[in-house]
Structure 1
Amino acid sequence: MTDPMILTVAPNGAYKRRTEYPHVPQTPEQLAQEAQRCLQAGAAMLHLHVREADGGHSLDVGHYRAALAAVRAAVGQAMVLQVTTEAAGRYQPPAQMAMVRELRPEAVSVGLREIDRPETGDAALADFFGWLVRERVMTQVILYDVADLRRWQALRSAGTVPDAPWFLLFVLGRYSAGQTSSPHDLLPFVQAHTGGEPWAMCAFGASEHACAVTAAALGGHVRVGFENNLLLKDGRPAADNAALVAQAAEAARCLGRPLATAEQLRERFMPA
């Protein structure tokens, strides 16, 4: 049977502000409304960032709890809610890991290069990943290039990262000129990926949809949204995140791939 495609939406990110992009959701209420629309369009997981009152990036546990409560009230259990540990130039590994331990979220994304620092050390890294496994937190590991993927593989081989149902995210275009991406950027990741973990991609810039179609065709999963791109496949501004989700959902249907449900994600990545 064809592997159902996991379609995730990243509706806001750490940097885009409503003063520049009026449709980027920031408050708990705005995130809840956007989540409802994206669920109807086909997304099974929401990757959310929370903001301070001035719109700046935050890892505040109280802000997260308020946003998660609002979104959960809007969508029930029909979406997996994933928080981020992104540093965005404001946070260091101890604070990033402490936030996750205090919040105990259903799902989290972790940028490997952000927490795998010399000052962290392998012992603390092993303790953190071990805690994620014991707490059954669905964890997506963010990898920005093949060097990140090789480091992940080394940590797995050394036993620093235990065996578990990890989920990888290959990021295209984050460190390219002008933060633009191409479907070709996915190929080095796919060729170097030998560990067998399921993977998804996100892509910066106007080629997001082309990259998503390529990932879906190669058996991967897809994350779209205003965090990385504001444009439809024809170059017009997207009215909301749901429009980007709908494009990706239609591509999956054209490829004969059903869309995964939140229940299927929980069964796959958070087994009892």
Structure 2
Amino acid sequence: MLQVCLNGARTAADSGVVPLTPAALADAARRAVAAGAQDVHVHPKTPCGEDSLSPRVVGPVLEAIREAVDVPVGVTTGAWAEPDPGRRAERIASWTVLPDHASVNWHESGADTVAEALLARGVGVEAGIWAGTPAAARFAASPLAPRVLRVLAEVIDDTDPATAPTTARALLADLARVPHGRPVLLHGYDGGAWPVLRLAGELGLASRIGIEDTLTLPDGAPAADNARLIACAAELTGGVPGA
């Protein structure tokens, strides 16, 4: 499975190619799916460009994207959008339009609380396990581990193309000791995005690419949009098999 991550926490200050509005996100999703993406991950944003879990922000983004594509669509529940986990759970309970799945970062406080709120509403949970954090150990101790949709093995802090794959292999080894039995999606960030995606292809794992993870193509040239990133990833990996 090849997922497109449309925008992430990036804003217009990072690049003019970051889609922000519901209409722009829907168009970006449509073109990315046409290029080979099989799943969408998006950060709904306020008019000021800040990530938000408000139903007034999440709903219109999901509706716009679903009018454009017929693939699963997921959102973030990152603590930067709402620091208090209890408040995050309340936001999830207030959603009027539900995503197919949502990512929960297990190194963040209250991950189980947030995941429980999602599962209670029938929303799949992507368990975000960041390398270099206590996330793998916390996930191993969570009773929710076997219930998540998939595990996101995320190499976020190591953006060195030379070392990111090694960091990724170490993270996968940590996760192999966790009896979760769920599919794994492996991805990197910035300089590590393409090397880690290549590793995912070699290992037969699902992966993702998009403006959230990198603003450049494999040759270092600026990416025009998410669709171009997805097209390059599909060429490099054959679409990246996996769940």
TM-score bin, normalised by smaller chain: 0.7 to 0.9
- Match of 1:226, SS state, is coil
Alignment-derived partner of residue 26 in structure 1: 20
Q: CA deviation at 1:150?
A: 2.0
- For residues 69 and 162 of structure 1, what CA distance do their matches in structure 2 show? 29
Aligned 1:159-238 pairs, distance under 5 A: 160-161=143-144, 163-172=146-155, 174-176=156-158, 179-180=159-160, 182-194=164-176, 195=179, 196-238=181-223
Aligned-partner Cα distance in 2 for 1:247–1:208: 12
Q: Match of 1:93?
A: 85
Q: Which runs of no fewer than 5 residues in structure 2 stay unpaired?
A: none
Change (3 A) 1:129 1:13: closer
Establish whether residue 138 from structure 1 lines up as the match of residue 128 from structure 2.
no
Per the TM alignment, residue 8 of structure 1 is displaced from its structure 2 partner at its CA by 0.8
Which one has more relative contact order, counting CA pairs under 8 Å at least 6 apart? 1
Specify every segment of 5 or more residues in structure 1 that has no aligned partner in the other structure, as ranges: 1-5, 118-124, 266-272
How far is 1:64 from its partner?
Answer: 0.8
1:151 aligns with 2:166: no
Structure of higher CA gyration radius: 1
Q: Deviations over 1:97-116 (max 9, x none)?
A: 22222224221111112243
Question: So what's the TM-score if we normalise by structure 1?
Answer: 0.78
* 1:38-90 alpha-carbon deviations (Å, 9 max, x no partner): 00111111111121222122222111101111111111xx2111011012275
Q: Cα gap change, 1:162/1:213 in structure 2, threshold over 3 Å: closer, same or farther?
A: closer
**Counterpart position of 2:75:** 83
| TM norm structure 2 | 0.87
In 2: Cα distance, 1:30 partner to 1:129 partner: 29
Q: Percent of pairs identical after alignment?
A: 27
Supply the distance in 2 between the matched residues of 1:163 and 1:142 (Cα, whole angstroms).
14
Q: Which runs of 4+ in 1 moved over 3 A?
A: 127-136, 257-260
Aligned length: 235
Cα pair distance change 1:55/1:67, threshold 3 Å: same
Pick closer, same or farther for the CA change 1:20–1:186 going to 2, 3 Å: closer
Specify the SS of the correspondent of 2:191: coil
CA-atom RMSD in angstroms: 2.2
